[in-house]
Amino acid sequence: MAAILDTLLSSVLPVALIFVMGYLAGRRGGFSQSDAASIFKFIAQVSAPAIIVDIIITTNVASLNPALTGLYLISELLVYAIGFFITSFWFRLGFKDALLCGLAASFANHVLFVYPITQFTFDPVMSIPVRSIITIDIIIFTLTIIILDIHQAPSTGPLKALAGQVRNPLLLALLLGVLIALNPFGTPLALIRCASFIADAAAPCGLFASGILLARPISKSSLKLAMVITGLKMLLHPILGFLIIILAGGYAIEEARTTLMVTVAPVGVMALTFASRYDGKTDAIAQSIIWSFCLSVLLIPVFAVI
């Protein structure tokens, strides 16, 4: 119990309080929704891509565990599919809204929340599984955008929708990072430090802006849908993660600890950004982000020490 409390106070609360500060600033009117949008624009186009480049060029390929990442990916995609089908058939949502809800139920806030916590709590090697998940989720995000773009404009076609991703900052950062990592002459120290310096701004800025964004009044009409999304993310995903990674995959809890922490991370803010962009169920996703955040603050310290 003492270890859980220590992790909560020393690693989780320092990160969570930045979100609370943003929420209070938004409620008091010190920062507006447009301010939050501007901060997110910086994160999406500059800071988050820098994280991807930093992860790729500073991670030792030999230290990666593709099997562990693959097992997590299976659990994530299962929750994505279950979320899609539940919201589609039970709530009678259209394809677009069901897909966005499936994304919200499965996609964790690892970049802004879990990743900095693992850096506070563990040796650097323990953050490598989280780095791998962040990288693989870029591909899931990109595919989701392509599907939504095709659904919005069926005449676009898959090739044109795919071509539209040439301006996706995260995807471009992924490709740039791979090219830099494959450079036979090594990565310049100035580039490594620049990517790391910019990447460090993502978590505090993103959490503060998230608090501002979620301080706006939220309709209670989507209460039941928000409860389902939260339940899928904070209950079903950890259970599936444990069954697939620990029981079926045979991994020891210590080896898979940070991966399991991602399963109890809150709903990712990018799900709300997508919902807003495609005119989806923003109120339900916003509520699920707040609820899952509160639950995650309590659960992550437990998963960090069990």
- pTM reported for the whole predicted model: 0.88
* Domain covering 2-215+223-305 assigned CATH 3.40.50.300 in the classification: no
Q: What is the pLDDT along the chain (306 residues), one digit of tens a residue?
A: 777 788 877 878 888 899 999 999 998 888 888 888 888 888 888 888 888 888 888 887 778 899 999 999 999 999 999 999 999 999 999 999 999 999 999 999 988 889 999 988 888 889 999 999 998 888 888 888 878 877 776 666 666 666 666 677 877 888 888 888 888 877 788 888 888 899 888 889 988 988 898 888 777 778 899 999 999 999 999 999 999 999 999 999 999 999 999 999 999 888 888 777 778 778 888 899 999 999 999 999 999 887
Which residues fall within 8 angstroms of residue 183, CB to CB, at 6 or more apart? none
CA dihedral 217, 221, 227, 230 (to 10 degrees): -40
Burial of 5 from C-beta contacts in 10 A (0-12 / 13-18 / 19+): exposed
Which pLDDT value is given to residue 87? 95
Query: 8-17, pLDDT tens digit by residue?
Result: 778 788 888 9
Are 74 and 245 a contacting pair, CB within 8 Å? no
Residue 183 zone, left/alpha/beta (φ > 0; ψ -120 to 50; rest)? beta
Distance CA 280, CA 99 (A): 10
The closest alpha carbon to 106, from 235, 277, 281, belongs to 235
Query: 42-59, pLDDT tens digit by residue?
Result: 888 888 888 888 888 888
